[in-house]
Structures are given as structure tokens and as C-alpha cells.
Chain A
Amino acid sequence: MRADAPTSSAAEASAPRKRRGRFRKYLPAYLFLLPNGVGFVAFMLVPLAVSLGLAFTDWQMLRPEVRFVGFGNFVRLIGFSWTEDGLAANDPDFWYFLFNTLFLMLGVPLSMFASLGLALLVNHRLPGITVFRTLFYLPTICNGIAVLMLWRLMFHADVGMINQALSAVGITGPDWLQSTAWAKPALIIVAVWIAAGGNNMIIYLAGLQNIPPELYEAAEIDGAGKWASFRNVTWPQLAPSTFFIFTMGIIGGFQGGFNAAYIMTQGGPAGSTTTISYYIYNTAYDGQLLMGYGCAIAWVLFLLVMAVTLVNWRFGKGSALGDG
């Protein structure tokens, strides 16, 4: 016991020295991280914390008074109450706009398949293939507003290019942006067009180029045709890419739809293209400027995104990464 004492006190004395040494060692790294860290805290963490606090108030922008309302905003947003007609949502708009958001998210798998198709096409070593890769990527780097305005013109029921093309083959095109049935599909078409050749195509392309050629050779020796090769080699090998694209697509889908709705339809007709993000904007920046309520919607959206992502992660990760 006694023999241990000097050793123990030496160890105690050397511990702060070690900590100092470690601090010195990592100081440059911390300093390099500092600008980004300061930006993150100032422009992300603090606003996030403030918005969480505001979600429990009835604060209206420009008004000095801030009243604590507890879970009032959340009750009003996702709660139900009994009315003369039975059980009714306190804020039916929220549920309708959530439905719109989910409907528009049908574009996520569609754009994934389109991206995969394009990646398969441009994965061939052909002369001039770089030109095609660039062309397919163009919508991503084009000005989003300009692209949406062009699509708006193309969807014109009477003089739009799409209906004129349909008319040439004897089909009467729908009132794309002025019909509750067709406005959402129109926005999905635009979203797929923009996303198909974008980053997702690049991720799939990288994934395709990482598949070992031996696997295809083995499949060929086993007598697999093109479809069997794709099904048994390409698709499973692309699972990590697919998982990543799908997860990011779902997150983006919940948060998205604002630009398209703002530019192409102003959320109409009859609110049929208003998404949750557009609803947040309208709530916080129009009329009464209900910032507290807007923050509550934003946090409910966050919880939704998080829940769906966790479910996706829990059940999708195993098949994608092969670790159960």
C-alpha cells in the first residue's frame, strides 16, 4: 500500500500534464474547427433553440409581448376535438397539407429509378459519353426558379407545349396546374426531371463503377442473362447507394415542395399543392405573422422526419449494409 503511494501521486501529478499535452496536441484541430463551430452555433444551434422555445409561445413577429402557451400550439396543430359534426381536427389544413407533402414524396422513388436508369445508361464507355453525363446533370445546376417558370409555361392547358404535343396525337391534355387531380402529378414530374440526372445519378454511377467485374463474370459463367445480372449483382451491390439516396430523399421530400409550389401554383388550386414547408411560410410570414405557431409546425415536421428516418434506418440499414 505504502509502496504504491508514490506511484499513485506521480500518476495524479502527471494526469493534468497529460491533459495539457493532449489539449496542445489537438489545439490546432480545434482552432481550425472553430470558425465553422462558431457559425454552427450562431446560425444553427441558437436559432434552433430559440425556435423550440417559441413553439411554446403565441409570439407574433413584430409584437413585443410573448405569452407562454405550453403545448397549446401543438394541441391546435395535431389535436382533435368534438364538434357538432363529430370528431374534427383542430387544424384540418395541417392534415391536408401533410397529405399533399406525402403525395408529392411519391416523386422520391420515381426519381431514384430515373437516376438509376440514367446512371446505367451513362455507365458505358462510349465516345462522347461525358457530353451526355453533363447534359443529364444540367437541370441540377440550372437556376431553379427559371426552370420552374419554364415548366409552368409548358403545363399551360391551352397553349402549353405538353398539351399541344398530346393534342398532336389526339389526346386532350388535362388542366395541369388548375386541377386538384393533376397539379400534384405535374409537380412530381418536374421534381423527377430535376432530380433524375442530378446528384443521385452521380452517386449511382459511382456505385456502379465500384462493383467488381468478377461478380458479373461469375454471373455470366452461371448463365445469368442481363436482367438476372442486374437483379442479383447490380441491385444488391447498389444497396448502400440506394439506402443513402432514399433516406436523403425522404428527408428532402418532407422539407421540400416550397419552391415548386411558390413559383408554379402558389399552393393552389384549392390548396392542393400546399406542402408543410409552404404552410410554415404562410403561417409565419403572412397576415398575423404567427411565428410561435409556425415554429410549432416546424418542430412537428422535424419529429416526423426524424421518426421516418429512424424507421428507415432501423429496417433499411440491415439490407443495405449487410450487417443485420
Chain B
Amino acid sequence: MPDSVPTPDRSRERVFTLSRLLLGSLVVLVLIPFTCTGRPTGDDKVDLTIWTSFDDPAEAGLFHEQIGRFEESHPGIRVKVEQVGAARRVQKYLAAMQADACADLVILHWRQVPIFAAKDMLVPLGPYIQRDQYDVEDFFPSALEAYRYGGEQAALPEKGSTHILYYNKDLFDEAGIGYPDDGWTADDMVEAAKVLTKRDDAGRVTQIGVIPLDAPSWVWTMGGRFADDGLDTLYFTEPGTVAAVEFLWKLRNEWQITSRNLNARGQDATQVDVFEKGGVAMAVGGPWHFAKYEGITDFDWDIALFPQGPGGRRTRYAAMGYGIWSGCEHPDAAWEVLSFLLSKEAMTQRRAESYRDLPARRSVAQGAFAQQETPFDLSVMLRSLDPEVADVMVLPKHEQWPLLERMFYEELDRAMLGQVSPEEAMQRVQARAERLLGATRYEPGAADYAGMALLPLAGLGVGVWFWRRGRAKTDAGGAV
């Protein structure tokens, strides 16, 4: 009896209603972007975006304040500041530039300049500098050099630094050794480290003499070099370069005065900062360590110049700066912002209360920056960039350099681990680099074109085979 009464299929109706709703939502979602784009902003101001990052909240506050002042003095320009994390910054820029959606002004690590400049992604600043007679002479020469590519000023530096030697004063006092001074050589450092390294009864190092950190600085200091900017000539097998590798090898394996965890870059492979924990007498580092070390209360520390070697005192420069993306619709306005942010006044205000990085302008570095009270000898930092005291070097600026550098570190690792001799290691780098740079372009031949024609057919064949196999199995009873 109940079977004879037809009941309306409500669930089916509900499903249809739901599906209509879903379709409607999809249509709305598709239309949203069209309603958002091209909407007039209501005024004729030029809108610019800056991607930047800050070391601390105080710097961020000053930056925003300065942008506010800029907007007041330039009523036709509106600037939006967006923070980008340092990690994966390159990937973000690459994706944004490729999608034509990058910010007008971008913060750039000096290493990123060749990557973008080689692909014409940065507006050359030379014409603007000339037009406005912008006072670039005030910048440290090494800072300007780091942001130059192919003879053009691709971007401008904001802050930068080079390597210095941190030392634990308590451990020096305990061992009765004089503190490092401007005259210190690599040999002095090694001799001191030998005394300052402590071992337990089993011979294990319990107090590390020195963390040498930067392999390129040692290569230059030992009289070696890498390559010219065009990578036309490679110098990996030069005696000075080999001597530097030998020096680093000896630190770890012969004298055993450094961390067992030392990697090819000369730093702790696990990135544990043993100096901060009081277990290291000397460590090469940069001003970026100040943020960590200024909180040390267990011992006294100070900084000294990087030691000298047969090649003099030659340290690597590292910096942050700003560039204008070539896809920027208003490069003139972007230059206005950039030149304002890197002006003496703006830089003085931002860097007068932060000693974590040296300002790229000499006048600021020697002026307000140098007046700060610091728990260490700030003049060392200034002297480390003085051409009369140290040669501040820049690694080759070529888009293929990161690959060559990786090869160098891989072979340096092998040398440090005793798998190859220092000389052999550098010969291997030279050979690998020459092979990479000398690789000829592949010209496709008839086989390539024939293969390409056959590829879709092969794909189709595989697809048909799978389809027929699936059908056969279904017909046979749905076996897996």
C-alpha cells in the first residue's frame, strides 16, 4: 500500500537547487576580478609600491615616517610600503617580475643585482644620477661597485658592511694574550688561536680558537682571486687561491683550532653560534651579529680588523640597496622616492640610531653614525671600509657566478674533508667552471624535430592503451 503512493523526490530537488547555487557562485567569482580592475582611484596621483624589509621595528617606524614626509612634499605621488621577508625574496621577485606584477621599487641584496640586471629587470640609474647631479661621490666606492652591472649603476646601496674579527676579551685575558690590533696578521691569529684552543683529556676541542667564516675574504687576503666580472679569465688555480684553501684546511685539520663543524663557507655547518655561548675565542663576522651579541652578559667582547695576509687586508663587501623595476610605469616618480630615501638626510635619520649596518654614505657613516655609544669599538667598523686600511672587495658580478661559487664551495668542502688536496680541489673547480662556461649551444637537428613529431603520437598511443586496458578490465568484471 505505501508503495502505491508516489512521494515527491525532495532530495533530488535539493541537489538541483544546490548545484544552481554553486553555478551562480562560480559565475560571481569569475566576474569579481572584472569588477575590481580598472577602477578609477578618484584622483590623478601616481601610485608607487616599495617592497622592503627592516632589521627592527624602530627602523620600520622611521621609514614610514619618512615616506609620509615624502608624500607631503610630493603631493602627486602616493607610496605604498610592503614588507617582504628576506627568505625566498628572490623567488618572490622572480615570480612577480615574470607576472608583470612587481613593486616599482625593490630592496635588493647585492648578490641579486646581476640576476635581475642581466635580464634588464632594473632601470639603469646612471641617466637619473647625471640629470640630477646626484651626489654619488659620497657613497663608499665598494658600495657603489657592488650595485653596478655591466658598467651601469643598476641600483643604489643603502647600507653595507665587511668582515671584522670578534674576540672574547675574557678568554684573551685568561690566556694572557694581547688583544688583536690593526697590525695583526693571519699568522698572529693562528698563533693566538693555538693558545686559546682547549681540549679535554680525550683530545676533543672544548674551546674553539677561531671561526674563520668567510672563504672569499681569505682567498683575497692570501693573495688569490676568483675571476673577472665577465668570467673571461678564471684564477682558481693561482697560487694565492690555493694557499687560501690550504690555510682553511690547516685551521681545521692540521692545527685543529677551529670547529669540527666548519663548512666550506668557513662557518658552523649547523649554524650554532658558539661565540655567543662563550665557547670561541675569535670569530670572523659582520655587523649583523651585533643584534645577537649585544645581549651577552657572561663575558666581555670587542671587535678588531680582519687580519692581514700576503695579499694585504682584503675583505668581502655585503650590502642592501634599492633598485627600480624596469616594468615600473612611472620610473621618474620612482627615482624621486629612491633618491629621497637614500639622501644624506633620510639616511642619517634612519641609521643614526642603528649600528647594525654601516650607512652606504661616507658622510653619514663618519657623522651621526659614528657618534653613537656602542658596547664595542665602533671606529673599527669605519676603518674596515677605509681604503687606506683595507681593500673591500666585491665578488664577480655575473649571472653565472652563483653556479661557479657553488662549485668552488663543493670542491673546497672536498679539500677540507681531505678527499682531495687543495691544489687538486682548485684544479677541479677550474675545469668544471671552464666546461660550464665553454658549453656550446645545442642546435636541434632532424632527429629532434622527428622526435617532437612522434612524441604526441606516443602519448596518444599510451593513452589509448591505458583506456582500452581499463575498458577490458571493466568488461571482465571490474578487476583492479
Contact = CB atoms under 8 A, between A and B. Distances in A.
B261 A178 contact: yes
A52 to B, nearest CB: 9
A172 interface: yes
Given A31-B22, A288-B399, A62 B97 contact: yes
A72 B261 contact: no
Contacts of B439: 76
Interface stretch (B67-75, B164-172, B265-273): B265-273
Interface stretch (B34-42, B316-324, B387-395, B446-454): B446-454
Interface in B90-118: 90-91, 94, 97-98, 115-116
B279 to A, nearest CB: 7
B401 A287 contact: yes
A14 B82 CA distance: 63
A158 B259 contact: yes
B23 interface: yes
Most B C-beta atoms less than 10 A away, residue of A35, A71, A75, A155: A71
A323 B402 CA distance: 53
A135 B409 CA distance: 40
Interface in B253-280: 259-264, 268-272, 274, 277, 279
A158 B414 contact: no
Contact of A69 (B98, B399, B444): B444
Given A287-B115, A287-B402, A269 B444 contact: no
A268 B444 CA distance: 35
Contacts of A270: 264, 410-411, 413-414, 417, 419
B374 interface: no
Contact of A62 (B116, B202, B417, B480): B116
A240 to B, nearest CB: 11
Given A28-B18, A56-B452, A158 B208 contact: yes
A285 B260 CA distance: 31
B269 A34 contact: no
A314 interface: no
Nearest to B450: A70
Most A C-beta atoms less than 10 A away, residue of B18, B208, B270, B401: B270
A159 B270 CA distance: 10
A60 B98 CA distance: 11
A58 B119 CA distance: 15
A269 B94 contact: no
Contact of B272 (A159, A172, A286, A289): A159
B451 A158 contact: no
A149 to B, nearest CB: 9
Given A268-B264, A287-B400, A28 B16 contact: yes
A108 B204 CA distance: 35
Interface in B3-58: 15-16, 18-19, 22-23, 26
Contacts of B205: 158
B415 to A, nearest CB: 9
Interface in A146-196: 152-153, 155-160, 167, 172, 175, 177-180
B479 A28 contact: no
Interface residues of A, number: 51
B417 A159 contact: no
B121 interface: yes
Contact of B270 (A34, A73, A152): A152
Interface string A80-99: 00000000000000000000
A265 B403 contact: no
A321 interface: yes
Contact of B274 (A159, A265, A268, A323): A159
Interface residues of B, number: 60
Interface string A14-34: 000000000000011001101
Nearest to B272: A156
A76 B403 contact: no
Interface string A242-274: 000000000000000000000011001111000
Contacts of B261: 156-158, 175, 177-178
Contacts of A152: 270-271
Contact of A156 (B22, B270, B411): B270
A61 B268 CA distance: 33
B176 interface: no
A309 interface: no
A37 to B, nearest CB: 11
A72 B19 contact: no
A302 interface: no
Given A31-B22, A157-B260, A177-B261, A62 B119 contact: yes
A8 to B, nearest CB: 26
A268 B413 contact: yes
A157 B277 CA distance: 16
Given A175-B261, A289-B115, A62 B270 contact: no
Contacts of B262: 178
A68 interface: yes
B291 to A, nearest CB: 18
Nearest to B445: A70
Contacts of A35: 22, 26
A282 interface: yes
A282 B1 CA distance: 74
A320 to B, nearest CB: 11
A2 interface: no
A56 B272 CA distance: 43
A177 B267 CA distance: 13
Contacts of B442: 58, 69-70, 72-73, 75-76
B406 interface: yes
Contacts of B16: 28
A31 B19 contact: yes
A155 B264 contact: no
Contacts of A179: 417
A125 interface: no
Contact of A155 (B270, B274, B400, B410): B270
Interface string A95-110: 0000000000000000
B204 A167 contact: yes
B85 to A, nearest CB: 13
25 contacts: A31-B19, A35-B26, A58-B441, A60-B119, A61-B98, A68-B444, A70-B442, A70-B452, A76-B442, A156-B270, A157-B259, A157-B260, A158-B204, A159-B279, A160-B270, A178-B262, A179-B417, A270-B411, A270-B414, A270-B417, A270-B419, A287-B399, A287-B402, A287-B403, A288-B403
Interface of A: 27-28, 31-32, 34-35, 38, 56, 58, 60-63, 68-73, 75-76, 152-153, 155-160, 167, 172, 175, 177-180, 264-265, 268-271, 282, 285-289, 317, 321, 323
